[in-house]
Chains A and B, each alone.
Chain A
Amino acid sequence: MADPGHTINGGGTIIDSLGSEIIGVMSPVSICMLLVVLLISALSPPPSAAVDASTPITAATLVYLESPSDPPSQKLVGALLNAAAFVALVTIATFLIVLLYYYNCTSFLKNYMRLSAFLVLASMGGSIALSLLRRFAIPLDTATSLLLLLNFSAVGVLSVLSPAVPILLRQAYMVVLGVIVAASLSNLPEWTTWTLLLALAVYDLVSVLAPKGPLKLLVDLASSRDEELPALVYEARPTVSRSSNPPIAAAPAFTASIELQPLADTPTAEVSGADHAIVEIEHVREETAPLVGNAGGGRRPESVSSHHSSEIEILETSPLVINEDVGRQSEGPRRSHASELERGIRLGLGDFVFYSVLVGRAAMYDLMTVYACYLAIISGLGCTLILLSVCRHALPALPISITLGVVFYFLTRLLLEPFVVGASSKLVCI
């Protein structure tokens, strides 16, 4: 795969080996963007009622709060300052995570992730649900809605990090988290959004590819320890079960064919499983403990806007990661003993969020810009995936997609839209 001649001749081989992975990554991203666009178009206030008093102060508007009457130069400077402050915050947070991970505070990181996932789901998700209830005038009573919200958040927290949930559910919750954060971030003022997106694309590029970039450090550290990334990451195709308890050994006792074999097999399987179960119980206890604290503690009294600063930090962009063995599946013997390490493509939740923020911002203008941005982002993601299959190390997923998306947004808005609207209003058939 590495030699260039092979790549040129067999472009199909890359697509072949990556085909299902590309779909596995692109479909959740598409669903996430679609949901954000639907949410925004359902919930955006009528233009007459737009009051700027509702724009909250978040981590992304620390320096400057845009108001529509400001001159463009002031908006630009303010937006740049905002973006710089936000990127600085994200960098500090990432370095903090790297430090914590380096000193083996993994349980702290995990609990922090659970806490923030719970807060995102319960408070931000709750407020979005409240807006939806109000928008569609659904007279749900208080007790039922609180009960449903509690259940929704609790299952979400479990599904983010506990192994005992269906993979589909975990993926769905990742998408939901992305949708919620992206929908909240799309409240940012317009200029700030664009500069912020570009700044994050540059930050992503630097921090994944620079020699001492924080995300590169994190990925290297995680792969040298052979552990999961301590971040919220969407996995296209999850890992095969732990190697300590290979499923192949446990499986035969329960398949139909083995039923006919002598029973001597079964007790050994049970013995090996028994001590494993004990370990697992401790593991579960440790995992469910934060759930109790959260459920009893309830929500924070502050309003939604104040949560942003703490939540976004952990959702910073994680790079695309690919395992060495993806794409080499045709090599039979190699695969068989490497299969337990084999992993799908992983995409950071931050990428979901910022793609969706871009599309959501485009949705506030027009549907035509939404189409353009969607196509640009998806093609950028495709380019990144193909690069990934060539480079075989962690790559930033934001730069290509975001750059293409921003360029296409402004091209559509400035060039295509006047043309199409003019043509169709003059009844020119195109």
Chain B
Amino acid sequence: MERREQEEDEERRHLRGRGIVLPAWPTVDGPLGLSPEESVAYARRFFRWGFALLPWLWAVNCIYFWPVLRARPSDFPAFSPLTHLRPYVLRSAIGFTVFTVLLSIWALTFMIGGKPLFGSVWDDLVMYNVADKLGLTGWY
């Protein structure tokens, strides 16, 4: 009876995580990636460097530690380093999402709004006009 319950529990977990029960490895590369202990150090570094206008590092964090991001915190074993890893990855994900949304709102406003919205400043801000002004030639 107890055994059967256990099995059911296992099955439920399978269904819930769509196959990902627990992150056997913290990284998407599996056994080729970093060990959990190294991962924490790297994730912390990447998360902190992300504030230096480098949000793509947050994106790298999210992609690399995808299994950790997908798993639930309650699934981790009690003393595993993954419990330390997850906050960094989660915050990276939030940071990257916020950054991307803000940046794309601004860039799309700039692109679609165009001259009618921004007036003559628009011409001074478009990248290729600035490059022309600075004398940066393109590739050809």
Contacts and interface: CB of A to CB of B under 8 A. Distances in A.
A163 B35 CA distance: 11
A270 B136 CA distance: 53
Contacts of B39: 164
A425 B56 CA distance: 52
Q: Could you say which of B27, B103, B110, B128 has the most chain A C-beta atoms within 10 Å of its C-beta? A: B128
A232 to B, nearest CB: 19
Contacts of A141: 106-107, 110, 125-127
Contact of A165 (B10, B64, B107, B110): B64
B45 interface: yes
Contact of A270 (B81, B128, B130): B81
A241 B136 contact: no
Contacts of B80: 253-254, 266
B33 A241 contact: yes
Contacts of B35: 241, 245, 247, 250, 273, 276
Interface in A340-391: none
Contacts of B78: 263, 266
Nearest to A278: B41
Contact of B126 (A140, A158, A251, A291): A140
Contact of B22 (A144, A255, A295): A255
A167 B32 contact: yes
B9 to A, nearest CB: 11
Interface residues of A, number: 66
Given A169-B63, A254-B82, A277-B40, A144 B29 contact: no
Contacts of A288: 45, 49
Interface stretch (A14-22, A129-137, A200-208): A129-137
Contacts of B136: 127, 130
B37 A134 contact: no
Given A142-B126, A254-B82, A277-B40, A238 B139 contact: no
B107 to A, nearest CB: 5
B41 A130 contact: no
Given A144-B106, A277-B38, A254 B128 contact: no
B94 interface: no
Interface string B103-140: 10011001100100000001001111011000011111
Interface in A127-175: 127-128, 130-131, 133-134, 138-145, 147, 150-152, 154-155, 158-159, 163-169
A256 B21 contact: yes
Contacts of A139: 110-111, 114, 122, 126-127
Nearest to B14: A256
Contact of B37 (A155, A165, A250): A250
B32 to A, nearest CB: 6
B31 A259 contact: no
A251 B138 contact: no
Given A251-B24, A254-B22, A280-B42, A166 B60 contact: yes
Interface string A251-265: 101111011000100
Given A273-B37, A291-B49, 18 more contacts: A127-B139, A130-B138, A139-B122, A140-B110, A151-B53, A164-B34, A167-B32, A169-B63, A187-B139, A251-B25, A251-B31, A254-B22, A255-B24, A263-B77, A270-B37, A273-B81, A277-B38, A288-B49
